[in-house]
Amino acid sequence: MTESIFGDVVYAYTRADAIRDGALIEVPPDLARQAGFTVPVAVTAAVWDLIDPGNLEEMPGQSIEGRLWDLLWLCGCAARATKGRHTDTVLFWCYFLFAREERGVEIVEQKMHVFKAVCGPGDQGEPVVTIMLRGED
């Protein structure tokens, strides 16, 4: 048995800890499976804030499930496009509608965001996918 040159692990922040703390939000497994994922998927809190900006009722035709589906579908398309390349990271983009009020007038606009999906080991070494903003780790 070999010992680490760094010694024992003092503290580890696990994926389960991040989910419990709200830093990661689990995607409902059924929705992820429908979008083609065979492993657990989570999004960062920053991504979740784009999926649920808190005022979807002001934007007809928008829902958390629909926005999450769009994100998952585009992520899956980007991942499938890497077939044959050995990579654990995929960049992709998705447009979301946002509503804001300016001088008493409600404005609904479309904004593009770039996302990064990383397939890596979960807490038990199992494959998991995490979707984050391009600048997040």
For residue 2, pLDDT beyond 80: no
User: Residue 3 above 90 pLDDT?
Assistant: no
Dihedral of CA 123/126/127/129: which sign?
negative
Asked if the model's pLDDT at residue 1 lies above 60, the reply is: no
pLDDT band for position 7 (cuts 50, 70, 90): confident
pLDDT tens column, 109-123: 999 999 999 999 999
Determine the pLDDT at residue 101: 86
| CB contact at 8 A, 133 and 112 | no
Phi, psi dihedrals of residue 117, rounded to the nearest 5° = -110, 130
pLDDT > 90: what percent of the chain? Answer: 79
DSSP states along 77-134: HHHHTTTTS--SEEEEEEEEEEEEEETTEEEEEEEEEEEEEEEEE-TTS-EEEEEEET
Q: What is the largest CA-CA distance in the chain?
A: 69
pTM here?
0.90
